[in-house]
Amino acid sequence: MNTKVIELQKLTTEEKDSIFKEAATIIQNGGLVAFPTETVYGLGGNALNPEASSKIYAAKGRPSDNPLIAHVANLEQVVPLVTEITPVAKELMNKFWPGPMTLILNKSEIVPLTTTGGRDTVAIRMPNHQTALRLIEEAGVPIAAPSANLSGRPSPTQASHVVEDLSGRIEMILDDGQTDIGIESTIIDLTEDKPVILRPGYITPEMLEEVIGKTEENSSLSEEEKPKAPGMKYKHYAPKANLIVVEGNEQEVVREILTRIKEQEQVGVICSDETRQYYKQALVKSIGSRHDVKSVAHNLYRVLREFDESDVSVIYSEAFGETEFGEAIMNRLVKAAGHQVIKV
């Protein structure tokens, strides 16, 4: 299949109109279009069409019991997908949508089991991105979209990542530059007695608590326990090199990494703008400033992909857990490291 890659920012208004029409038609006909959201790029298909969901699993190489998120453009689109919008769901939607929050609710009959990986619940999100919202609106159906990467690779934060992974496998890629946030949405299960966070993200437990009180957290499940978000049980992205996270106070972390990389060849370091200067004899990449943890999330997946293009065999990464949504960043980093964390 020939994948059409469209650079939206280079188009005139009229050209954009016709591209969105074409993309919407692809979705309506059961085809696949990758598009940006504020978190990461998604691989979209009609959430109400079982064949489209099957194509999504095939294109990603993803196990078909790992459910997809249905993306909506407005609240009216949510109503037919669920048995009930609970008061807690309503409050969260009003506060955080459009935005990086996914809610799990009990599904209605019209949502195919292929979309929900055989479950009777459905994940729903209204993304905060004009391109995503326009595509969903013009398609006139909710769009099922996992992150637009091959299963086992980091989520794509720019269109070139999608091209790398999915070129030839899908009909169209809408390139609208880099995504803003850079890590996937916070997932909250509202089908139990208490709201449970299944995946940490940019919307933190503290932000949720202000609106709905305390939530429970379920994201740090060990491999043996049965995870509620099935995505947590699959092997996560592991870089080609052996990634090891070093955690502790800044000076000790730097000292530990410097000791370990001494006289080693083909070694990489992931650090912050503040510590960049200390590392000389390795392939060093800063993922952002500790004073701007947003920049760390924004750059994380891109930097991990870049290391795969180098020939380093070990990567030491500083930890980034201390602030705000540090938990969300560490969740991804520690998984990428296969839980190899050295505490100093």
- Cβ proximity to Mg ion, 39 vs 147, nearer residue: 147
Of the candidates 253, 316, 305, 242, the residue with the CA atom closest to the CA atom of residue 282: 316
- Other residues' Cβ atoms within 10 Å of the Cβ of residue 309: 8
Question: Which does residue 114 touch among Mg ion, ligand TXA, none (CB within 5 to 8 A, set by kind)?
Answer: none
CA–CA dist 69, 136 (Å, integer): 13
Determine the Cα angle at 180 with ends 33 and 333, to 5°.
Answer: 95
- The residues near 252 (Cβ < 8 Å, ≥ 6 apart) are 344
Minimum distance between the CB of residue 100 and ligand TXA, rounded to whole angstroms? 6
Single residue of 37, 102, 116, 147 touching Mg ion by CB under 5 A: 147
Nearer to Mg ion, 153 or 298 (CB): 153
CB of 334 to ligand TXA, least distance (A): 16
Task: Give the whole-angstrom CA distance, residue 297 versus residue 331.
Answer: 11
Matching residue, tokens 């949502």: 111
Phi, psi of 13 (to 5 degrees): -55, -40
Q: Work out whether 200 is an interface residue with ligand TXA (CB under 6 A).
A: no
- What is the spatial distance between Cα 209 and Cα 49, in angstroms, rounded to a whole number? 36
Select from 26, 68, 103, 174 the one that contacts ligand TXA (CB under 6 A).
68
User: Which is closer to ligand TXA, CB of 119 or CB of 134?
Assistant: 119
125 makes contact with ligand TXA (CB under 6 A):
yes
Contacts of 224 (CB under 8 A, 6+ apart): none
Q: How far is the CB of 343 from ligand TXA (least distance, A)?
A: 27
Pattern of binders to ligand TXA over 147-186, x per CB under 6 A? x------------------------------------xx-
90 within 8 A of 78, measured Cβ to Cβ: no
CA distances from 87 to 24, 93, 155, 309 (A): 32, 10, 32, 48
Q: Which entry of Mg ion, ligand TXA, none binds 229, CB below 5 to 8 A by partner kind? A: ligand TXA
Amino acid at 299: N
Rule CB under 6 A: is residue 105 a binding residue for ligand TXA? no
Binding span for Mg ion by CB under 5 A among 69-77, 86-94, 147-155, 169-177: 147-155
Question: 142 vs 156, which CB is nearer to Mg ion?
Answer: 156
From candidates 8, 34, 39, 72, binder to ligand TXA by CB under 6 A: 39
**Residue 69 tokens, joined:** 């998120």
Element (H, E) at 137: helix 130-139
Handedness of CA 99, 63, 33, 308 (dihedral sign): positive
Nearer to ligand TXA, 53 or 121 (CB): 121
The yes or no reply on residue 116 touching ligand TXA (CB under 6 A) is yes
The angle subtended at Cα 254 by Cα 252 and Cα 259, nearest 5°, is 95
92 binds ligand TXA (CB under 6 A): no
Residue 147 or residue 275: which is nearer to Mg ion going by CB? Answer: 147
101-106 and 186-189 beta bridge pairing:
parallel
Residue 147 or 157: which CB sits closer to Mg ion?
A: 147
**Shortest Å distance, C-beta 299 to ligand TXA:** 16
Judged by CB under 6 A, how many residues of this single chain contact ligand TXA?
Answer: 30
Q: Of residues 217-236, which lie at the interface with ligand TXA (CB under 6 A)? A: 228-232
Number of residues counted as binding Mg ion (CB under 5 A): 1
SS3 annotation, 58-96: HHHCCCCCCCCEEECCCHHHCHHHECCCCHHHHHHHHHH
> What residues line the site for ligand TXA (CB under 6 A)?
37, 39-40, 42, 66-69, 100, 102, 104, 116, 119, 121-123, 125, 127, 145-147, 184-185, 187, 198, 228-232
> What residues line the site for Mg ion (CB under 5 A)?
147
